[in-house]
Amino acid sequence: MVLAKEIKARPSLAEMKGRSCYQSKVMRGMGRMGSLDNKRLPYRSDVKLEVERARLITESYKQTDGEPFIMRRAKALAHLLDNKKLYILSDELIVGNICSKPGNILTFPELWWSWLDKAIDKEYAKIIEDDARKELHEIHAYWRNKAVHGMERNLLPDSVKDYWRYDNHGVFQWIHGGHVGVPNYEKALSLGLNGLVEEIKGKLAEISDEQYILTRPQEYLERKRFYDAAMITLEALVRFGKRFAQKAREDAENETSEQRKSELLKIAEICDWIPGNPARTLHEALQAYWFINLMVRVLDLQSSGLGERFDQLFYPFFQRDLDNGILTREEAVDLVGNLFLKMDEEPELKPPATGAGGATLITRVTTVGGQTPAGEDATNEMTYIVMDAKNQTGLIQPAVAVRLHRKSPAKLYDKITESLLKEPGVYSFFNDEMMIPYLMNLGIPLEDARNYSTDGCMRWNIPGKAMAFRALGGQFVLPKCLDYALHQGVDMFNGKKWGVATPDPRTFKSIDDVIDAYLAQVKFFFGKLVTTYNIVDILDQEYLPQPFLSSLLDGCIEKGQDCRIYKYFLNTIFQPIGQITVANSLAAIKKLVFDEKKVTMEELVTALKNNWEGKNDLRQMFINAPKFGNDDDYVDVIARDMQNKATQTFHSFKNIWGGPFMEDGTGGASYFAWSGLTWATPDGRKSADMFNDGTISPALGTDKKGPTAVLNSVGKIDHIGTFTHLFNQKFLPMYLSGEYKQKFIAYFKTWMDLKIHHIQFNIIDRETLLDAQANPDKYSTLVVRQAGLAAYFVDLEKSVQDEIIARTEQTFD
């Protein structure tokens, strides 16, 4: 008689998500300039800063001194992969760790070190052990004058250098973000990295021809170095896989549970095969994806690495497994969920004094839905598997960007409403009906345009292509430019003339005079930002080549050029803030000063100088003036015109590839952090009060005509010259279910008709948020949309929490 063996079921995703390794590491409350909530720790108390990555990278750089930077970069990454400590977490199906221990955070001294060097003795003293602190100080000493971020400061002329610090003048902040490019995962999964190595060897053979070298020595050297460096990194990642196979076998030997032992042996088998060889199953494909992602995104920290169209990429593997009878749909959800949990293991280290209100931000987005390159609906079973996995794991990484178009199936809308009720904060929506013509207008071919994805938080991307833009480049505070225009370039906080000397506002004869002065300030400050930007791009080309990512971007292998040099798309992005605050201000001036002549410029400027003190009635008149978001053409047309005029001004500058600078809406996420240095504005806002949220969301509490009027206003803004726009809406959960559900869906479809780029929702009732504010421990995984990004609500600074609670709740009645 055979006894029935007791088989322990695998833990559910919901059980796994509660484990501390997947929880947010950041617990800050220090976002807004000047406000510091000392009661909150910067990081969870069990989180430690580790030195492993810094040590290994530095060891290698020391050994390669004198070599070309592309080789040094490649060798450093290979050294890291060959020597970093590996672990496999209990029950995990996708392996590949970032730090040497779960819950640790890592650092990138070759990029930056100076603020951290101070912080580990002060604000971050508790998150690092003493011996590690000592070692890190030593490592930092090596990187003095060698780390790339900030290197530009000594190269800039004084007239620009003085503007490097945001808090001097309050208009822009240079932010040295990573470079964006989504690997061609499809190619990597189908050829395997060994296949890429073969391709490169073929190219090397082509150029290793005496005649070629004789006639094109410079090109030869550039290509040879790129190919050598790319191969070093590709081969290193294949070895990294094999190290994991070995690790899984070792763990299996010590494993007592038969089931887990077989899981570990399967992992070993998979990691022996990929990423070197072509993936054959969904499990292999997901594992290979994670290794590549880990390399480009986490260990190199030069690229988001995300932005794939998840359902398009993995559906064929799923379907093949299903046909072969080796996988069920349930198991597929479990595998995808396991991958998502790995993304939540990712740590985040940020300077103590910056950041977005202490939020753990979504930095990973995966895209589903949309159209095929041929224009057919692309929704497939993997679309729903992704949403099921996300709804079960919750947590902040990755966010899911859903592409919608006229032919998106009704089933997808049903799934969206169901998902918004479960995890509203992690979904955002992108409009194919607007995006595809828009991308074509930018010169992107139709098939590539139909293949667009979202990466970062809401930036579009074309997977597999070498895009020029960075994840961040600079935040640009537009209301501060208006502030300078109304005070002849003088900063009202410190009395210094940081702006350009525009005419005395008391002489302004029409709203056009105000606009001219405003645009003159925009141009003045933007020139300084661009100078910085361009210098930094050249430094990045020199010091931070990306041989691994480049080998996965179309065209780089063929041309033998790093993606810092070869570009598919030349444009660069930066992040303007406060557009609607400017539009509302200009509308109020136009109406009260120039149309109705109820107020003089003199009265207005004096009242602004006094921060509206003693002028409550006057201020109220400006508050009552038309506000964007009410489908009122008076102000909406100004908002549209100002958008276009600002865009023209930005486009008059060129980046180092000759492309224009485009406005990226993600900066709107930081409206609360960057509004503190702007004086009183003519929309009735007092000094340091917050701007509007997002780039085209109405200012807080000023949209009084309901959600259709808001959409109509937003729909009037031209998107054509800008990069992305950010738009938030908030609904009560009841409106997504029962008899209202179809109406919500109709609202959604109208958003599409109005050709608005993006929309995201907070679907949480006020009571829940208030309860979460009072009982943070109960709601540690509650994700909210906070401007452009998602964040854990309980991690946010209280004033930001209050603002989210106060933000107009759109109701249907």
Partner 1 sequence: MPERNKLLINEESKIIESVDGETEPEDVTGLIFAIQRFSIQDGPGIRTTVFLKGCPLRCKWCSNPESQEAGIELMVDAGKCTKCGRCLEVCPAGAIVLEPQLAVDSPRCHLALKCTEACLYGALEPAGKNVTVREVMKEVMRDTAYYRNSGGGITLSGGEPLYQPRFTHALLMAARKAGLHTAIDTSGFAPWHVFKQVLPYTDLLLYDVKHMDSQIHKEATGVDNLLILENLRKLSKKKVKIWLRIPLIPGFNDSEDNLRKTGDLAKEIVAEKVTILPYHEWGRTKYEKLGRSYKWVQAVRPDRQYVQEVKELLQGLNLHVTVGS
| Nearest-approach distance from CB 572 to partner 1, in angstroms | 35
The correct pick among 126, 134, 598, 743 for binding partner 1 (CB under 8 A) is 743
The count of chain residues that interact with partner 1, using the rule CB under 8 A, is: 25
The yes or no reply on residue 705 touching partner 1 (CB under 8 A) is yes
Question: Which part of the chain contacts partner 1 (CB under 8 A), choosing from 215-223, 298-306, 665-673, 704-712?
Answer: 704-712
Nearer to partner 1, 498 or 735 (CB): 735
Residue 86, number of CB atoms within 10 A of its CB? 16
CA 733 to chain centre: 27
Reference 455, options 297, 338, 566; nearest CA is: 297
The yes or no reply on residue 534 touching partner 1 (CB under 8 A) is no
| Nearest-approach distance from CB 688 to partner 1, in angstroms | 23
Dist CA 240 CA 179 (whole Å): 24
Return phi, psi of residue 438, to 5°: -60, -45
The correct pick among 198, 209, 330, 753 for binding partner 1 (CB under 8 A) is 753
Residue 793, number of CB atoms within 10 A of its CB? 26
The correct pick among 130, 323, 617, 767 for binding partner 1 (CB under 8 A) is 617
The yes or no reply on residue 737 touching partner 1 (CB under 8 A) is no
The yes or no reply on residue 262 touching partner 1 (CB under 8 A) is no
The correct pick among 341, 621, 714, 782 for binding partner 1 (CB under 8 A) is 621
Dist CA 357 CA 670 (whole Å): 8
Taking CB under 8 A as the rule, which mask of x and - marks residues 557-596 in contact with partner 1? ----------------------------------------
CA 570 to chain centre: 19
Nearer to partner 1, 318 or 628 (CB): 628
| Nearest-approach distance from CB 696 to partner 1, in angstroms | 18
DSSP E strands, 704-768: 728-730, 758-762
Nearer to partner 1, 395 or 618 (CB): 618
The correct pick among 190, 620, 652, 775 for binding partner 1 (CB under 8 A) is 620
The correct pick among 110, 346, 631, 664 for binding partner 1 (CB under 8 A) is 631
Nearer to partner 1, 131 or 813 (CB): 813
Nearer to partner 1, 6 or 617 (CB): 617
> For the chain, percent helix, then strand, then coil, each to nearest 5?
50, 10, 40
Cis peptide before 776 (omega within 30 of 0): no
The secondary structure of residue 668, as a DSSP letter, is G
| Nearest-approach distance from CB 805 to partner 1, in angstroms | 21
Dist CA 183 CA 755 (whole Å): 29
| Nearest-approach distance from CB 715 to partner 1, in angstroms | 9
Nearer to partner 1, 93 or 711 (CB): 711
Nearer to partner 1, 277 or 708 (CB): 708
Dist CA 740 CA 185 (whole Å): 40
CA 542 to chain centre: 24
| Nearest-approach distance from CB 729 to partner 1, in angstroms | 12
| Nearest-approach distance from CB 754 to partner 1, in angstroms | 7
Q: Could you please report the per-residue DSSP string of 308-331?
A: -BHHHHHHHHHHHHHHTTS--HHH
DSSP E strands, 238-385: 365-369
The correct pick among 194, 541, 750, 773 for binding partner 1 (CB under 8 A) is 750
Tokens for 664? 């990226």
Question: Which part of the chain contacts partner 1 (CB under 8 A), choosing from 122-130, 146-154, 442-450, 612-620?
Answer: 612-620
The yes or no reply on residue 767 touching partner 1 (CB under 8 A) is no
The correct pick among 12, 494, 610, 624 for binding partner 1 (CB under 8 A) is 624
Cis peptide before 682 (omega within 30 of 0): no
Taking CB under 8 A as the rule, which mask of x and - marks residues 268-307 in contact with partner 1? ----------------------------------------
The correct pick among 700, 732, 754, 805 for binding partner 1 (CB under 8 A) is 754
Nearer to partner 1, 243 or 741 (CB): 741
Tokens for 297? 């995104």
| Nearest-approach distance from CB 624 to partner 1, in angstroms | 6
The yes or no reply on residue 323 touching partner 1 (CB under 8 A) is no
Contact between residue 308 and residue 463 where contact means Cβ atoms under 8 Å apart: yes
Reference 786, options 690, 669, 700, 666; nearest CA is: 669
The correct pick among 747, 761, 792, 793 for binding partner 1 (CB under 8 A) is 747
Dist CA 395 CA 757 (whole Å): 25
| Nearest-approach distance from CB 699 to partner 1, in angstroms | 18
Dist CA 104 CA 44 (whole Å): 10
Nearer to partner 1, 329 or 743 (CB): 743
The yes or no reply on residue 765 touching partner 1 (CB under 8 A) is no
The correct pick among 71, 542, 740, 773 for binding partner 1 (CB under 8 A) is 740
The secondary structure of residue 467, as a DSSP letter, is B
Contact between residue 289 and residue 241 where contact means Cβ atoms under 8 Å apart: no
Q: What is the CA radius of gyration of the chain?
A: 27
The correct pick among 134, 686, 749, 778 for binding partner 1 (CB under 8 A) is 749
The owner of tokens 């021809």 is 209
Cβ neighbourhood burial of 205 (10 Å; 0-12, 13-18, 19+): exposed
Go through 507-521 and write b for each residue having 16 or more CB atoms within 10 A of its CB, e for each that does not. ebeebebbbbbbbbb
Nearer to partner 1, 588 or 621 (CB): 621
Taking CB under 8 A as the rule, which mask of x and - marks residues 648-687 in contact with partner 1? ----------------------------------------
Contact between residue 431 and residue 751 where contact means Cβ atoms under 8 Å apart: yes
Question: Interface with partner 1 by CB under 8 A: which residues?
Answer: 616-617, 620-621, 624, 631, 705-709, 712, 735, 739-740, 742-743, 746-747, 749-750, 753-754, 812-813
